Amino acid sequence: MEIENLAKSDLNSGYFCYDCLYFIEDNDCAIVRQQGPDVNGKESGTIAPHGICTLWTPDEKKAH
Ligand code: SF4
């Protein structure tokens, strides 16, 4: 899901797609599709850096 209020958050700290092992710069994911609604029924057509899902896995290469 994507929470609009978190779009301007510090993406280097927190459980965001940006810090996830599966995130592909700048708006894709290796395992979650861009198309289709999220749990809130919202369709953005993208994997936003400030998004999150239950498969989140920390990317140790990124600073936390
Ligand atoms: S949190 Fe989920 S949607 Fe986001 S990059 Fe990770 S696996 Fe993909």
pLDDT in tens, 10-45: 988 889 999 999 999 999 999 999 999 999 999 999
Measuring from atom 1 of ligand 1, which residue has the nearest CA? Answer: 56
Cβ neighbours, 10 Å, residue 20: 24
- In a domain, residue 54? The reply is yes
Measuring from atom 4 of ligand 1, which residue has the nearest CA? Answer: 17
- In a domain, residue 36? The reply is yes
- In a domain, residue 3? The reply is yes
- In a domain, residue 31? The reply is yes
Question: What per-residue string of b and e applies to 28-63 under the rule 16 or more CB within 10 Å gives b?
Answer: ebeebeeeeeeeeeeeeeebbbbbbbeebeeeeeee
Cβ of 3 less than 6 Å from ligand 1: no
Cβ of 17 less than 6 Å from ligand 1: yes
Q: Which pLDDT score, from 0 to 100, does residue 64 have?
A: 57
Match 């996830």 to its residue by tokens.
Answer: 20
Range of the domain at 36: 1-58
pTM reported for the whole predicted model: 0.88
Q: Which pLDDT score, from 0 to 100, does residue 61 have?
A: 87
Our count of domains for the chain comes to 1
- In a domain, residue 19? The reply is yes
Query: From residue 19, how far is each of 10, 22, 42 by CA, in Å?
Result: 11, 9, 22
- In a domain, residue 63? The reply is no
